[in-house]
Amino acid sequence: MELDLADAVSRAFGELQQLLFEQLVQPAMFATGMGNLLAEGYRATGWLLVGGLQIVVMLTVFRALERWRPVEAVTDRAAVRVDIVYTLLHRLGLFRVAMFLTLDPLWDLAIGKLRIAGLPTFSLDAAWPGVTDVALVSLMIYLVVFDFVDYGLHRAQHHFGWWWQLHALHHSQRQMTMWSDNRNHLLDDVIRDSLFVLVALLVGIAPSQFVAVVALTQLVESLSHANVRLSFGRWGSRLLVSPRYHRLHHGIGVGHESAGPGSLGGHNFAVLFPVWDLLFGSARFDARYEPTGIRDQLAEHGARDYGRGFWSQQWLGLARLFHRA
């Protein structure tokens, strides 16, 4: 039954991807002289379709939750509109297309050379006999592996001062909503996504499974950033990251900078599964909803400017990185 359902979903998605590619994307690529990049265009169509489905869920289910029990009234709608721009840029595949055309080919080439030099072909799920025949079990293995990688990268973003200067943009949102997940500096995304792609190549995850892992992770992240008073209970919150659990991570001086002004570190770094925070001692399950942002945004700590618009946020991120802001 499980195999039939997984196959049916996979076939339906493939048919939609093919239809969208043939009717819209392929003609546009030929019209703009990009006919030599049809393979990349087909992959980008998959990301476009996944992103479109995510946005439908966000606008229906997650938005209904935000209206049901908001943590706070949204008074800075301009800031939220900028977050929507970030979301559309990432979820509709524009950022992924840029990666396909620039850095991904370099990683493919590097791994290819390593294969020629003797690096064996490897698929992580094949290490457990019979797992590759059970699609959902295989997917769960990769979800756990990549979530652990995500946890490590997130800790690094808060640990290394230079990386924090970029990641701070994500934490500078004072009006956190379901749109805030993709509010990142583009260089921060390039670093993180490049490392993710390298791990994907090394563990041998199939492209379709990689899309599924990224899509499911992004959807949970959108929910965890939502402006909603929602916890999954004592045990549920220890199994899956909830909006209350992740909001604490964004709390001023609580979830990060917890040791004082300008300090790094913090709590609740997990993206999907809080087990990593529990294992490494960074979990907090406080039943409270703190104001979000960064301490140095407050007037008494200097009122640092992180930018109001997309381009100013990107520029100021680079300026912080090179100690010019």
| pLDDT exceeds 70 at position 101 | no
pLDDT tens, residue by residue, 275-287? 999 999 999 998 8
Of 153, 177, 175, give the one whose Cα is nearest residue 164: 153
- Better pLDDT: 252 or 100: 252
DSSP letter at 184 equals -
Q: What is the pLDDT of residue 16?
A: 85
In the chain, pLDDT over 70 holds for what percent of residues?
Answer: 81
What 3-state class would DSSP assign to 264? coil
Compute how many other C-beta atoms are within 10 angstroms of the C-beta atom of residue 175.
20
Pair of tokens at residue 80 = 């939220």
- Do the Cβ atoms of 144 and 125 come closer than 8 Å? no
Mean pLDDT (the chain) is 85
- Do the Cβ atoms of 257 and 263 come closer than 8 Å? yes
Q: Rounded to whole angstroms, how far apart are CA atoms 175 and 72?
A: 8
In this prediction, residues 110-131 reach a mean pLDDT of 63
pLDDT tens, residue by residue, 206-258? 877 888 888 899 999 999 999 999 999 989 999 999 999 999 999 998 767 76
| pLDDT exceeds 90 at position 85 | yes
DSSP letter at 181 equals G
Q: What is the pLDDT of residue 22?
A: 83
Read off the pTM.
0.86
DSSP letter at 267 equals S
